[in-house]
Amino acid sequence: MSRYVHLDLDAALADLAAVRLALDELELRYETAHAGQQLMLEGSLECAGEPVDLRFAAGTLDTVEDFGLVREAGGLRLVCGELDLEGLRRQLLAPLTRAMLTQRLAGAQRAGLTVEASTEVDGTTRIRVRTP
């Protein structure tokens, strides 16, 4: 077991409602706290549990410990075991960021904007959003 660590998430992941939609699209199971309350992470012999707004069970995305997301004044924060942090950066945060970007681009198209994507020589994708 390990202690819990905190990672402030990118501003693109600041909206809890949009994050929940993206998590649903990724088919990740989680528990949601009731309005005005929080859920507690289990903790271990090395650390006490921590309050979160969304809790994921241990074993989700091959994690050792349970983990969660908590709403902070500046956005969202990931709370997870230190042993799970690097795996969650790859297996949770990267796909979550992509799913939320896809949501935003779909919203731009519904709003009548033109969305164009092209792949650069170095493999990066360039997305251009324009008014028609």
Question: Tell me: the pLDDT tens digits for 90-107?
Answer: 999 999 988 888 888 888
- Are the C-beta atoms of residues 103 and 110 closer than 8 Å to each other? no
Beta bridge partners of 119: 125
52, two tokens: 């979160």
pLDDT for 1 beyond 70 = no
Rounded CA-CA distance 13/79 in Å is 14
Q: Span 61-90, mean pLDDT?
A: 93
Residue 52 and residue 3: Cα distance in Å, rounded?
Answer: 15
- The model's pTM is 0.82
For residue 55, give the H/E element and its range.
Answer: strand 54-56
Look at residue 10 in the predicted model and tell me its pLDDT: 84
Alpha helices in the chain (DSSP H): 16-25, 85-88, 94-110
pLDDT digits (tens, 9 = 90+) for 114-127: 888 888 899 888 88
Among candidate residues 82, 56, 113, the one with its CA nearest the CA of residue 3: 82
